[in-house]
Structure 1
């Protein structure tokens, strides 16, 4: 674990990290968010996916758009030319959860963790927005980085988060 904040200077002022000396590498990040809801909502979502009203498609597009706009939302993030963004959903009917998994890839000098976290968060928020009439007590939680690769730190993976 690092022992200094990278976005603060010696006087404690917020700064954008200088990446001018970093090497361009392929960088990838996977982040997740969990929506907990009633089984009824999951059933309705699965039904809608079979018809024209695919809530998951809308949430997927929202997550991708959010990843692309991360530097507009998080003040000190560098704008990135993303190579790839995917948003997937894992439904667990028994646990009454929907896990959102967002993956972002870039050829660049800085990581894409914030883009993946933003994509997962906004996709989960979109699911919430589209389902709140059925279950206003849904909970979005466990927004977290699951894995990142690239750069000088190499590979980092949350224990037990992803089965490779």
Structure 2
């Protein structure tokens, strides 16, 4: 970056500048310009992201690196380092292979149940047409019951 160059930058879709190279580096160091923000100088045909300019993000390495790692825990004895996948209560979450096997077993069980249901629909016992029971043919009229009046009751002869 030449000291006399004029720089422009885009922040929140608004163009700013011209600024000097020192001002541009100060904006990056302070975090006002991030790695994805665009910058331009008259020596470039197009706008570029801050992260793509050699040496510009390196000058902000101390400000952008974050806090140092935590020190080891002090206490009763030294505990072995925890795996990142281990939950707070000491159990491990299920592995991907366990999830895949469980899904396959569930799929097979559902397929078997579906096949049994379809087979029950097409059971040969239930498919045969049902014939009506034969009816008895009676030539005589039904017998008169106790409450039936006699045919000549009430008639005089």
The alignment's TM-score, normalised by the length of structure 2, stands at 0.21
- The structure number with the bigger radius of gyration is 2
TM-score by length of 1: 0.20
